[in-house]
Structure 1
Amino acid sequence: MYVILGGAHNGKRKYAEKVIAQLPEKELIIYEGYLPQPEEIKENERYIISNFEQMILPYLHESEEKVAQQIFGQIMQIAEQAELICICTDTSRGVVPLEKEARQLRDTCGRLYQKLCNEAQTVIRVWYGIPQILKGDSHEQN
């Protein structure tokens, strides 16, 4: 599993496409804001999952850890069956939101991203278009 993280509009998807171009060809399926059902996963496909904030929004009334663990568990099921790239938008480097819901969203994303980064073989931070490998190997050829 790859995790590519960085700020909004910092080049994460463009970098993911660059990495994918270096990997063996597979069908690419993209999920934005939701996860595929387990029966939809096929071993010979590559998946990009992004917009985790949208997945978390409906569950702000629940515990941050519970929500993060639930989504993480579903993602790990996908990662066990197919190649997976998670694109995570870092919302932790800005001003602390005044609204409780916005803080909870930021904190839940942070908990989820910690879990994903811990389990990923490769973690890459993209900041203003510049990739920095934090863990593993990017497979990118310059």
Structure 2
Amino acid sequence: MHIVTGGAYNGKSAWVRKFYQLDNVSNWHWIAAYDETCPKDLAAFGQDLIVLNGVEHWVYKWSETQSISEIRDFGRAIISNWVNWEDEKACRKLVVIGSDISKGIVPMEQQMRAWRDATGWFYQDLVEKCDRLDMIWYGVQTQLK
């Protein structure tokens, strides 16, 4: 699993498209969290390279109906499914793109703070399982893992 993070509108998606040369390959699928629900079963897409973009939006949706501990358990179960999918075939790769929402002023609203916390924990669980982590800041890439 490859995790790509950084600030909002800092070039994460463009960097992933260039890094994986998505204009030149055909066996990939891009899932935008803004438009689609969180997939548990990646095999349903029938592709070997899957990009999940904007995963913090899924965590936000979960935070509307679940407690922080429920989100943590739910997120870990989804990550486990994703890792299992990737491990089934050597040619499979999952790329997860998520904006860093941990910087700046801590929100006053309880739900916004819960979302921020849950997203941070979800990212920690993702990073624990990934084999590569890149941060993109203003279009500049730094490999962290």
- State the TM-score, normalizing by the size of structure 2: 0.81
Q: Distance in 1 between matches of 2:81 and 2:144?
A: 24
SS in 1 for 2:20: helix
RMSD: 2.1
Tell me which amino acid in the other structure corresponds to 2:15. Y
In structure 1, list runs of 5 or more residues that go unmatched.
Answer: 136-142
Count of residues paired in the alignment: 133
In structure 2, list runs of 5 or more residues that go unmatched.
Answer: 86-91
Matched, 1:130 2:134: no
SS in 2 for 1:65: helix
1:106-121 correspondence runs (5 A):
106-121=116-131
Q: CA deviation at 1:102?
A: 0.9
Q: CA deviation at 1:95?
A: 0.8
Question: 1:102 is matched with which residue?
Answer: 112
Question: 1:139 is matched with which residue?
Answer: none
Q: CA deviation at 1:99?
A: 0.9
Percent identity between the two aligned chains: 24
- State the TM-score, normalizing by the size of structure 1: 0.82
- Deviating 4+ runs (over 4 angstroms): none
Contact 2:29 2:45 in 1 (8 A): no
